Amino acid sequence: MATRPEMDLGRFPYLQGNYAPVLEESTFDEGEGGLRVEGKVPENITGAFMRNGPNVAWQPEHYVYPVDGDGMIHAVYFKDGRVHYRNRWVRTKSFQVEEKLQRACWGSHGKPHPVDPEAIAAGGSPNPMKNPANTSVLFHGDKLFALFEAGFPHVMDSDLSTVGEYDYEGLLQPGDGLTAHPKICGRTGDLVSNTQRFAEPYLTLQIFDKTGRHKRSIPVYGMHRRAMIHDIQICGDYIVGFFAPAFPDIEAAMKGENPFLWQGERPTRIFAVHRDGGEPIWFEAPTFFSWHFCNGFQSGNKLYVDYVWMNSMPISNELGTGVESQMRNMHRLVLDLKTGSVTNDKVGTTYCEFSRADERRCGQRYRYGFAAAATQTWEDSQNHGYNATIAYDMENGKSQVWDYGEGSNAGEPVHIPNPDSEKEEDGYLMCYVYNPEEGAYLSILSAGHVDRGPLAKIHIPARVPNGFHANWMNGMTL
Ligand SMILES: [Fe+2]
């Protein structure tokens, strides 16, 4: 591995504290100098908890959270009650070129610049928008993917070595963005994803069967330009997405202006498309923005869509941050396919993000939603963390919270089904936590008893920076 010089990150708000990268790729087993287990690891689960996130490898010139930073996956593997940890960068083509040239060759998504000819000569892409493969990690169709919003997925081996980009056998064309948030239907195992382009159709839904074979493409017409559509949701027979007035503007970005345009005077429009295809049904609601769905389902003519609401798109190029101080809440939106009516109600008042549910219920009626939550005040700080995990009973809005302590940061809580039970509440919730006194650990909560605190903590003798999305790779071992 290349020797990595220390970076000067002082001017980047979202590379401070536990947002700062780690420069080591580590491997730890349990025992002296390695992982330390506090509490009891469930013995009936076999698989790997993996989480992706940005981890800059070379001194950046500019940095905007949450769109920049080279993807790094942190994984904890479980087998027979024993655990193993490793973290590895996703070795994209651009990562390899920068590794060879020992410097950053691509600009930030907030301030792109033409790619250095030396990087192109070394095999790098001339596209100034680098695919950092930094947003999520997902297993489907016998492939483990590192995902990024605006680029091809990267196939990974179970040991976190990078295989390379995957275009679904030519389905994806150069420049196509594939969402970082495909959904796997809990009923059929189909993967529902989408391709985004800068020409009509701006968004095309892509459906793959459980083996990864392409079933159909459904263009979604009715958008006047490409928007920041970060997530989509299966709701029974339908797929729902939010067309909020948040637009990427590459021309502006190349001129050094804000690459994201927020037109808050426009309403947020919502599409629902039948999974068999056909024209989208469009709804309209007072303006809001959302990064993430929690789950959705259908009951007769109504679609229930649970998501994290916020009042505008939280990106400021000047601040280099996500402007995390604006409120985010769990909401339930109900679309009536017959009357066209929309209701959009708060489920809870706690600041939350990174919403998840039992994946066996994806697209189906369910009861419990989980999220990272902020229950501490952070005053004027823009650099915001989540100190807690929250579990919502979506039927009555009641919640349970576990606070990891002063100054902690807790990641996206992933639901791991209990192999011996069909019940959501019998499963486990896992997330990485950083606590200033305890360091990094993987927290394992009972999904039904979040307020009792961790059943186990797997202490990791290296820092795990704050990151994005995680998933449970059931049955995956080394
Ligand atoms: Fe996301």
What pLDDT shows up at residue 390? 98
pLDDT digits (tens, 9 = 90+) for 195-216: 999 999 999 999 999 999 999 9
Closest CA to 94 of 62, 110, 116: 116
Q: How far is the CA of 466 from the centre of ligand 1 (A)?
A: 13
Q: How far is the CA of 121 from the centre of ligand 1 (A)?
A: 33
- Give me the number of domains the chain comprises: 1
What is the rounded CA–CA span in Å between residue 428 and residue 299?
27
Asked if the structure places residue 433 within a domain, the reply is yes
Q: How far is the CA of 313 from the centre of ligand 1 (A)?
A: 13
What pLDDT shows up at residue 64? 86
pLDDT digits (tens, 9 = 90+) for 42-86: 999 999 999 999 999 999 999 988 889 999 999 999 999 999 999
Count the Cβ atoms, other than its own, within 10 Å of residue 351: 25
Q: How far is the CA of 308 from the centre of ligand 1 (A)?
A: 11
Asked if the structure places residue 3 within a domain, the reply is no
Q: How far is the CA of 291 from the centre of ligand 1 (A)?
A: 6
Q: How far is the CA of 154 from the centre of ligand 1 (A)?
A: 17
Asked if the structure places residue 230 within a domain, the reply is yes
pLDDT digits (tens, 9 = 90+) for 442-476: 999 999 999 999 999 999 999 999 999 999 999 99
- Structural domain harbouring 86: 13-474
- Output the DSSP codes for 243-304: E-SEEE-HHHHHTTS-SEEE-TTSPEEEEEEETT--PPEEEEESS-B-S-EEEEEEETTEEE
Q: How far is the CA of 147 from the centre of ligand 1 (A)?
A: 10
Q: What percent of the chain has pLDDT over 70?
A: 95
> CATH code at 159?
2.130.10
Q: How far is the CA of 66 from the centre of ligand 1 (A)?
A: 9
- Output the DSSP codes for 378-394: -TT-SS----EEEEEET
Asked if the structure places residue 220 within a domain, the reply is yes
Asked if the structure places residue 346 within a domain, the reply is yes
Asked if the structure places residue 4 within a domain, the reply is no
Asked if the structure places residue 6 within a domain, the reply is no
Q: How far is the CA of 292 from the centre of ligand 1 (A)?
A: 6
Asked if the structure places residue 7 within a domain, the reply is no
- Output the DSSP codes for 1-53: ---------TT-GGGSGGGS------EEEBSTTSBEEEE---TT--EEEEEEE
AA letter at 38:
E
**pTM for the complete prediction?**
0.96
Average pLDDT on 302-314 reads 93
